[in-house]
Amino acid sequence: MNRPDHIMLLDHVIPLELSDRACRAMQALSLPVHIDMELYYSCLIGKRVNVLPVPPPHSVAVASLSTKMTIGFRAVATRTCRVGDQTHALEAEVIPLPRAERYLPKWLRLDYADGSFCGEFGV
């Protein structure tokens, strides 16, 4: 498998860095994995890379690395704010992005550690 060095989201090139472990794990996948880059608005703005069993609903854009992996992007906001309590996931809803290309990540790094994909992205 050639190591991909970018993905295309909404006609924008997003540089992609896959670790050696992530490449080996992607080759060994028996079921598809869906990577979700989430721009998370609450009291503060956060970024999350989630690994999901199915593509996330309401993704702004989805790129396919192969039949085994897709990468999507979406923005969500919480209804409440609990700065001190990060142990419980807050209910969030998808934010419509009329000009989504302005919010797209500038890069994505994926790794594979402790039996799961993980990563980070920059805006």
Q: How far apart are CA 10 and CA 18, in angstroms?
A: 21
Are 78 and 41 within 8 A, CB to CB? yes
Domain boundaries in the chain?
Answer: 6-81+88-122
Q: How much is the mean pLDDT over the chain?
A: 80
Residue 40 clears pLDDT 60, i.e. is over it = yes
Tell me the pLDDT tens digit for each residue of 44-87. Answer: 777 889 888 888 776 766 777 777 888 888 887 776 676 655 55
Classify domain 6-81+88-122 at the CATH class level: mainly beta
Of 28-32, 90-94, 114-118, the least confident: 90-94
Q: Which of 82, 92, 85 is nearest to 58 (CA)?
A: 92
Closest CA to 70 of 108, 113, 101, 24: 108
Other beta carbons within 10 angstroms of residue 75's beta carbon come to 19
